[in-house]
């Protein structure tokens, strides 16, 4: 098994994400978490970029003891001097200097010949080695560099004392096979390369940063550069958590490992997301909110039978508490029943089928069905009273300058359909008057309460009513739940009436007996 070293550049290339600007304290907090995660190197910034960046690197270098602290620098002596100023107190330091090698960058950006690039690169590495034992050289835009010339540059910087050589795919242009071949060619053609650590650094412009990184590992790279959550310049860098989990999950294939404490990944991802304001999409591999959530009935059933059917990473492996089975309109009975048991309900098959039908009905009306929704759904039916009247339909006419009118249709226990309409001094009042008419019951509404039991625009509303009859001799409570508060009001009232009617007939039976 090879050990792949992890070079984290969240604080340098990650901070190059448009819109991200971390304070010194925020950088420190991230650096300490990266140390906890066990990354080998933390690129803490670019010392020559600004006095603030230099100070941040310096603070991190003084405090972090278990990871090597790195500063980036151009191939310019004064940049390297600044980096030394920032890193001189570090327990373990590395200077990372770079110069572009590709024809496009040489011609348009640097205005340098091939020879001048080599000359500047060698001078930078030699100057850096005066201060630093560990010097990394990056051939910026290496993947678009002529291969024979790239080999020449790498040979020159290795001879000058670079101990890590990085071949960045600066603009995310390469393909896995092409990128892997660069690493193979360097190992076959550079003298002394076996004493040097080969590093890969991939950008995600074509969505291939992780795939290219893995191809480099296959071809012999032993250092991976990337960022947490894949943040970085333009479309970002290789997401380190994805690379680490690919290596870990497919050890059999890569025959490699890292020193990362993988269970720190979720916490690290959240911290970086929070402090940078770069939100992680739900479907992001490894750290997205849905990475360990299963929504469809067939998958949920499989998960309940054996998690390896649909899950290749156990959530605890990356510090996520548990797999989530998301209940919704695509769920089946297996997941629904499992959740009911978790919530403390043991229903028989018939009750389960009936509850499941009502659950599916609710899912059609409500985007997110929460545990509170399910509890409300079940509890509203737990009152085991024979239903003298079942609500079939409510229709309401309401206007701020007209009298609210409700029409109600109910079905009796004997199957008869009854309809009535009534006006009231409000929508609920008109519904209750129509129900009084259709049931021909004479009741007093003693109390009426609305509670929102779930959150959001499509929250479930719960209505409690207390009714009395015969001068308060008989008092009952009713409870109705619906995404529509008027429907919940009707259900609560009719539920209470059904209770009253049931009590009356119980009383008659008692007398007859």
Ligand X SMILES: CC(C)C(=O)C(=O)O
- The Cα-based distances of 490 to 84, 359, 428, 474 in angstroms read 76, 19, 8, 20
Q: Which range touches ligand ACO (CB under 6 A), out of 35-43, 70-78, 82-90, 281-289?
A: 70-78
Q: Residue 168 CB, nearest distance to ligand X (Å)?
A: 3
User: Of ligand ACO, ligand X, none, which one sits near residue 201, judging by CB under 5 to 8 A according to partner kind?
Assistant: ligand X
Between CA 39 and CA 261 the distance in angstroms is 9
C-beta of 99 vs 287, nearer to ligand X = 99
Burial (0-12, 13-18, 19+ Cβ within 10 Å), 498: buried
Q: Which two tokens stand for residue 140?
A: 């910026």
Q: Residue 190 CB, nearest distance to ligand ACO (Å)?
A: 21
Q: Is 7 a residue that touches ligand X (CB under 6 A)?
A: no
Q: What string of DSSP letters covers 424-438?
A: -SSHHHHHHHHHHHH
Measured on CA atoms in the order 216, 219, 224, 225, is the torsion positive or negative? negative
Please identify which residue in 170, 204, 223, 482 interacts with ligand X, judged by CB under 6 A: 170
Q: Which range touches ligand X (CB under 6 A), out of 166-174, 259-267, 384-392, 408-416?
A: 166-174
Q: Is 201 a residue that touches ligand X (CB under 6 A)?
A: yes
- The Cα-based distances of 456 to 250, 339, 405, 476 in angstroms read 41, 22, 28, 31
Please identify which residue in 14, 45, 168, 319 interacts with ligand X, judged by CB under 6 A: 168
Between CA 101 and CA 118 the distance in angstroms is 9
Between CA 41 and CA 8 the distance in angstroms is 6
Q: Which two tokens stand for residue 431?
A: 């519904």
* Whether 390 contacts 415, CB under 8 Å: no
* Whether 206 contacts 236, CB under 8 Å: no
270 by DSSP, 3-state: which?
helix
Query: Between 17 and 56, how does the x/- string for binding to ligand ACO read (CB under 6 A)?
Result: -----------------------------x-xx-------
Which residue positions form the known binding site for Mn(2+)? Answer: 13, 201, 203, 237
Q: Residue 75 CB, nearest distance to ligand ACO (Å)?
A: 4
Beta strands in 174-222 (DSSP E): 197-202
C-beta of 171 vs 374, nearer to ligand X = 171
Q: Is 43 a residue that touches ligand X (CB under 6 A)?
A: no
Q: Residue 72 CB, nearest distance to ligand ACO (Å)?
A: 6
Number of alpha carbons in the 13 Å side-chain half-sphere of residue 285:
16
Number of alpha carbons in the 13 Å side-chain half-sphere of residue 75:
24
Q: Which two tokens stand for residue 219?
A: 């071809």
Q: Is 143 a residue that touches ligand X (CB under 6 A)?
A: no
Query: Between 101 and 130, how does the x/- string for binding to ligand ACO read (CB under 6 A)?
Result: --------xx--------------------
Please identify which residue in 56, 138, 405, 454 interacts with ligand X, judged by CB under 6 A: 138
Query: Between 327 and 356, how does the x/- string for binding to ligand ACO read (CB under 6 A)?
Result: ------------------------------
Q: What is the CA radius of gyration of the chain?
A: 34
Q: Is 13 a residue that touches ligand X (CB under 6 A)?
A: yes
Which residue positions form the known binding site? Answer: 13, 201, 203, 237
SS (H, E, C) 472-486: CCEEEEEEEEECCHH
Q: Is 233 a residue that touches ligand ACO (CB under 6 A)?
A: yes
Q: Is 140 a residue that touches ligand ACO (CB under 6 A)?
A: yes
Residues of the shown chain interacting with ligand X in the complex, contacts defined by CB under 6 A: 13, 72, 98, 138, 140, 166, 168, 170, 201, 203
Residues of the shown chain interacting with ligand ACO in the complex, contacts defined by CB under 6 A: 13, 16, 46, 48-49, 74-76, 98-99, 109-110, 140, 170, 233
């Amino acid at each position: 098994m090879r050990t792949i070293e992890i070079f984290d550049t969240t604080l340098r290339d990650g901070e190059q994400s448009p819109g991200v600007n971390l304070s010194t304290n925020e950088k420190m907090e991230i650096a300490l978490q990266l140390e906890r995660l066990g990354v080998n190197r933390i690129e803490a910034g670019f010392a020559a970029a600004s006095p603030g960046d230099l100070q941040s690197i310096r603070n991190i270098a003084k405090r972090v003891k278990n990871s090597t602290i790195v500063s980036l620098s151009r191939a310019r002596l004064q940049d390297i001097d600044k980096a030394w100023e920032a890193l001189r107190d570090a327990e373990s330091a590395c200077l990372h200097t770079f110069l572009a090698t590709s024809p496009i960058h040489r011609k348009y950006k640097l205005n340098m010949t091939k020879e001048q690039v080599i000359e500047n690169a060698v001078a930078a590495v030699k100057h850096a080695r005066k201060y630093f034992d560990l010097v990394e050289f990056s051939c910026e835009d290496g993947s678009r560099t002529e291969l024979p010339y790239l080999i020449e540059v790498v040979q020159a910087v290795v001879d000058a004392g670079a101990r890590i050589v990085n071949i960045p795919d600066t603009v995310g242009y390469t393909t896995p096979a092409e990128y892997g071949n660069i690493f193979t060619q360097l190992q076959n053609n550079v003298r002394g390369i076996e004493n040097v650590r080969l590093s890969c650094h991939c950008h995600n412009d074509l969505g291939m940063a992780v795939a290219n990184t893995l191809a480099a590992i296959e071809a012999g790279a032993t250092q991976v550069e990337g960022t947490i959550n894949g943040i970085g310049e333009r479309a970002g860098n290789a997401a380190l958590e994805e690379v680490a989990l690919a290596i870990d999950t497919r050890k059999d294939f890569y025959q490699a490992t890292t020193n990362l404490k993988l269970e720190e990944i979720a916490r690290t991802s959240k911290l970086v997301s929070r402090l940078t304001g770069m939100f992680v999409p739900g479907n992001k591999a490894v750290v997205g909110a849905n990475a360990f959530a299963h929504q469809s009935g067939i998958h949920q059933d499989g998960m309940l039978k054996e998690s390896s059917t649909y899950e290749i990473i156990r959530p605890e492996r990356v510090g996520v508490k548990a797999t989530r089975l998301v209940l919704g309109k695509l769920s089946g009975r297996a997941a629904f029943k499992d959740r009911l048991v978790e919530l403390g309900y043991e229903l028989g098959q018939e009750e389960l089928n009936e509850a499941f039908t009502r659950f599916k009905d609710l899912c059609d009306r409500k985007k997110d069905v929460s545990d509170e929704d399910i509890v409300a759904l079940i509890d509203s039916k737990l009152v085991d009273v024979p239903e003298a009247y079942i609500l079939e339909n409510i229709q309401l006419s309401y206007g701020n300058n007209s009298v609210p009118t409700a029409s109600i249709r109910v079905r009796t226990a004997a199957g008869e359909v009854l309809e009535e309409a009534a006006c009231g001094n409000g929508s609920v009042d008109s519904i209750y008057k129509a129900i009084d008419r259709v049931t021909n019951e004479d009741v007093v509404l003693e109390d009426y309460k609305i509670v929102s039991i779930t959150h959001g625009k499509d929250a479930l509303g719960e209505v409690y009513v207390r009714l009395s009859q015969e001068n308060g001799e008989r008092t009952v409570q009713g409870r109705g739940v619906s995404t529509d508060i008027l429907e919940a009001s009707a259900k609560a009232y009719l539920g209470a009436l059904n209770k009253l009617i049931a009590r009356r007939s119980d009383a008659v039976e008692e007398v007859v007996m």
